Structure 1
Amino acid sequence: MTDPVLSLNDVSLSLMGNAGRVDILHDISLEVARGETLGLVGPSGSGKSSLLMLMGGLESASSGSIRAVGQDLSAMNEDGLARFRRDNMGVVFQSFHLIPTMTALENVATPLELAGARDAFERASAELDAVGLGTRKDHYPAQMSGGEQQRVALARASAPRPKILLADEPTGNLDEASGGAIVELLFGLRDRHGATLVMVTHSMELANRCDRVVRLRDGRIEAPARAAAE
């Protein structure tokens, strides 16, 4: 694979719990090419979300190395990682993580403002238009359905034009109709902005829309990563 945007080499993750150390990921080596879509699948507890958090610098590896957009994440402190995510990554969570006291427009504009964009609200407004929420910009999260809140979260993640888009079960809290609409938007945003997309999902139907699928079990890559089914 040439010019990987993400590169993990012998990455392991262990965390301390009440009962002692818990080994979550074991010797993960994986590369993701620029512009690729990658689906991470496997049973609950297999380490999919933990792997995604490592890719985003939201969790620190216990051993091994992670490079993203040519930079070594393990060499960065918390402030450095926060700036790196701001400039390079968009993250979409299953539970939306919107700021309840902010309108949809303010939620989407916030990362743009933090990045110093002078046209933050104009760009946020255009992004909400793109996800079909042009008439809901002044509504608060509590006034919106789950599907609408996830659309806001998608707009917020994509507005800064990230090089890497990470999605953790983006349809997990939605009904089938809303989830299907979010999937179309997610791939549409990827196509429109050219970002690399890495997505954790329990749905093989959704995973098979990706260029490649990686299956995890017990914290290890179960088999060689394969191309998604045609």
Structure 2
Amino acid sequence: MPQTDPVIALSGAALTLDGNAGPVAILRDIDLEVARGETLGLIGPSGSGKSSLLMLMGGLERASAGRVSVLGQDLTGLSEDALARVRREHMGVVFQSFHLIPTMTALENVATPLELAGQPDAFARAAEELAQVGLAHRADHYPSQMSGGEQQRVALARAAAPRPEILLADEPTGNLDESTGAAIMDLLFGLRDRHGATLVMVTHAPDLAARCDRVVPLRDGRLATPAGTPA
């Protein structure tokens, strides 16, 4: 069962971006806490703000108003370099698009965040993570030599390699067929269990949302119902 201390906390958080016709309110007055060890699903129609909310949690977007706190640290006043350090030291992020570096092998892609963090055993740990997602035999292959499902496995290994306290996943199966997507989700939940991470996931799939401890729906940039308490 998740503990009650919040790993992520948003209070009155809002996000407004400049559009062609002027400012556009993307998120409004978000109050939400995510407990340590919890798995939270963000659901809602396209354009409801799910991915933007995930980006706020990861410090990839800066709140226009309110407060976003991760592991007790207020992200709203941090510099870009400080935000990058928080992500590097505490978070793993998995996107719908794999965002692998095309000129690097699978092993090098997974080892890169570990090298940036100064891990002396970066390549050994990267090899271990590739083995955990069933890709030890693909370590020396480049992204262009792998299927979409294999590339997403590499992305999962890269996110998990630093042993993050928080995993953020934005439609991680969106570019995959049903059977491959199901396998990727099994791996993602397995990584969460193995490392004891808190998982926040954006999804359109009801079966994936049903695997979460709690589901938070969004509509028009707001929480559609009170967020409630962790399961």
TM over 0.5: yes
Instruction: From 75, 88, 91, give the equivalent of 2:93.
Output: 91
User: Aligned partners of 1:165 and 1:132: how far apart in 2?
Assistant: 20
Contact 1:91 1:157 in 2 (8 A): yes
The structure 1 segments of at least 4 consecutive aligned residues displaced by more than 4 Å after TM superposition are 226-229
The answer on 1:149 being equivalent to 2:147 is no
Q: CA deviation at 1:3?
A: 1.1
Contact 1:164 1:197 in 2 (8 A): yes
Contact 2:43 2:203 in 1 (8 A): yes
Q: CA deviation at 1:70?
A: 1.1
Task: Give the structure 2 partner of residue 31 of structure 1.
Answer: 33
Q: How many residues align?
A: 229
> Identity over the aligned pairs, expressed in percent?
75
The one-character-per-residue Cα deviations of 1:67-92 (angstroms, maximum 9, x if unpaired) are: 10111101210000001100000000
- Equivalent AA in structure 1 for residue 58 of structure 2: G
User: Aligned partners of 2:177 and 2:230: how far apart in 1?
Assistant: 24
Q: CA deviation at 1:122?
A: 0.1
Q: CA deviation at 1:207?
A: 0.6
What's the C-alpha RMSD, in Å, of the aligned pairs? 1.3
Task: Give the structure 2 partner of residue 175 of structure 1.
Answer: 177
Instruction: Point out where structure 1 has 5 or more consecutive residues left out of the alignment.
Output: none
User: Aligned partners of 2:187 and 2:114: how far apart in 1?
Assistant: 20
Q: CA deviation at 1:227?
A: 7.8
Any idea what SS the aligned residue of 1:14 has? strand
The one-character-per-residue Cα deviations of 1:72-130 (angstroms, maximum 9, x if unpaired) are: 10121000000110000000000010000000000000000000000000000000000
Counterparts of 1:122-201 in structure 2, within 5 Å, are 122-201=124-203
- Equivalent AA in structure 1 for residue 67 of structure 2: S
Any idea what SS the aligned residue of 2:207 has? helix
Task: Give the structure 2 partner of residue 102 of structure 1.
Answer: 104
Q: Which moved more, 1:52-61 or 1:1-10?
A: 1-10
User: Aligned partners of 2:149 and 2:227: how far apart in 1?
Assistant: 31
Instruction: From 193, 217, 220, give the equivalent of 1:218.
Output: 220
Any idea what SS the aligned residue of 2:48 has? coil
The answer on 1:18 being equivalent to 2:26 is no
User: Aligned partners of 1:154 and 1:23: how far apart in 2?
Assistant: 32
Contact 2:34 2:230 in 1 (8 A): no
Q: Which moved more, 1:1-10 or 1:178-187?
A: 1-10
Instruction: Point out where structure 2 has 5 or more consecutive residues left out of the alignment.
Output: none
Task: Give the structure 2 partner of residue 46 of structure 1.
Answer: 48
Normalising by structure 2, what TM-score? 0.97
